[in-house]
């Protein structure tokens, strides 16, 4: 056999092995389902990555709820890369899944691949984050938090805190999430709008921490070098970056929660424990538990039923204004 033919045969064997592996993965996904009569729904889910406790909790919830609803989940983790998400969606289209769901890492750049899904007749659910597009009908709905409202709740807490402490000038540094992502844009806008009419409030700088703990620490080192004693408040767009920033604040000789007001978003267990210790002042909740709504929506889409275009879970604020010992276990 010539080298060319040998190469072709090898490639074919690899493809066949890949196909068998995928089928057995599907089979594995359905095993042990709690559902008595399983649906034949196949859901392709592209997750952003594993950047935070929130994201890991969200993945766990999606997997558990798929199992509970007897849905075959084809799950792909994009490891923080948009191109990996696009490739995953293309694989879902090639496999002819029934429904595609994904959490877009950023808002732009989805038109081509979503047009391919639409042309293939596969409905798409946006989970957690939104996209920005001029095209109509690329997605069916969005299931995720109201990030703008979260920013507003963070700003409103700060105004109450400044009142309680009798502050007449408040210097804020903001550590933002991934640039061009929905939570980054909306948490920034909601917070800015909430404090806009309070002349005490002054944002010294907003810096991109990419939702990562390591970046939170780096940003904090830079901000302390740059502004030092002038910093009154840190508004951080997620717990992970907050938890990265706190040790840097302590190393620089400040007591977080006392010398500097700390406001975070997510409400994962680790941050809530630190809130209870008094080193964080306020945590706005963002629940990762979106799986139930995703599965119910996927089933409706498969059945050709109408779905809600926008589903926001209700969310709370945890802060030093309350008895924090009463906050129940968070589960993420």
| Binding residues for ligand AHR (CB under 6 A) | 51-52, 54-55, 128-129, 183, 211, 238, 240, 265-266, 286
Closer Cβ to ligand AHR, 51 or 98, answer by number: 51
DSSP output for 265-289: EE--HHHHHHHHHTS--EEEE----
Q: State the Cα–Cα distance between residues 140 and 38, nearest whole angstrom.
A: 24
Dihedral pair phi/psi, residue 203, rounded to 5°: -85, 115
Burial pattern 271-287, b for ≥16 Cβ within 10 A else e, equals bbebbeeebbbbbbbbb
Q: Which of 257, 305, 251, 306 is nearest to 280 (CA)?
A: 257
Rounded to a whole number of angstroms, the minimum distance from the CB of residue 142 to ligand AHR is 12
Rounded to a whole number of angstroms, the minimum distance from the CB of residue 218 to ligand AHR is 17
HSE (side-chain half, CA atoms, 13 Å) at 274: 26
Q: State the Cα–Cα distance between residues 238 and 264, nearest whole angstrom.
A: 6
Rounded to a whole number of angstroms, the minimum distance from the CB of residue 42 to ligand AHR is 25
Which distant-in-sequence residues (6+ apart) come within 8 Å of 233 by Cβ? 158, 170, 171, 172, 173, 260, 261, 262, 263
Rounded to a whole number of angstroms, the minimum distance from the CB of residue 40 to ligand AHR is 31
Closer Cβ to ligand AHR, 52 or 139, answer by number: 52
Closer Cβ to ligand AHR, 170 or 286, answer by number: 286
Rounded to a whole number of angstroms, the minimum distance from the CB of residue 284 to ligand AHR is 10
Residue 43, helix vs strand vs coil: strand
Closer Cβ to ligand AHR, 40 or 214, answer by number: 214
- Is residue 264 within 8 Å of residue 284, measured between CB atoms? yes
Rounded to a whole number of angstroms, the minimum distance from the CB of residue 277 to ligand AHR is 20
């Amino acid at each position: 056999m010539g080298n060319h033919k040998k190469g072709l045969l090898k490639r074919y064997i690899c493809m066949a092995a890949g196909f068998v592996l995928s089928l057995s993965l599907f089979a594995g996904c359905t095993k042990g389902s709690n559902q008595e009569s399983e649906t034949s729904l196949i859901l392709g889910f592209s997750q952003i990555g594993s950047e935070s406790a929130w994201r890991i909790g969200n993945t766990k919830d999606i997997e558990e709820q798929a199992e509970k609803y007897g849905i075959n989940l084809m799950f792909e983790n994009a490891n923080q890369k948009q191109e990996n998400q696009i490739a995953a969606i293309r694989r879902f289209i090639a496999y002819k899944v029934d429904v595609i769901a994904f959490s877009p890492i950023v808002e732009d750049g989805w038109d081509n691949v979503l047009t391919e899904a639409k042309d293939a007749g596969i409905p798409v659910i946006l989970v957690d984050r939104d996209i920005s597009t001029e095209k109509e009908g690329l997605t069916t709905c969005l299931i995720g938090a109201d990030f703008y409202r979260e920013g507003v709740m963070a700003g409103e807490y700060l105004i109450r805190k400044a009142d309680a402490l009798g502050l007449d000038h408040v210097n804020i540094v903001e550590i933002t999430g991934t640039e061009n992502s929905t939570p980054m844009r909306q948490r920034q806008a909601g917070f800015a709008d909430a404090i806009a009419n309070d002349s005490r409030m002054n944002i010294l700088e907003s810096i991109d921490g990419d939702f990562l703990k390591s970046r939170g620490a780096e940003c904090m080192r830079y901000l302390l070098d740059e502004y030092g004693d002038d910093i009154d408040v840190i508004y951080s767009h997620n717990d992970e970056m907050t938890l990265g920033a706190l040790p840097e604040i302590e190393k620089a000789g400040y007591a977080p929660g006392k010398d500097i007001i700390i406001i975070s978003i997510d409400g994962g267990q680790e941050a809530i424990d630190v809130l209870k210790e008094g080193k964080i002042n306020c945590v706005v909740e963002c629940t990762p538990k979106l799986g139930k709504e995703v599965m119910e929506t996927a089933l409706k889409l498969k059945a050709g039923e109408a779905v809600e275009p926008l589903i926001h879970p209700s969310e709370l604020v945890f802060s030093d204004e309350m008895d924090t010992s009463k906050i129940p276990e968070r589960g993420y």
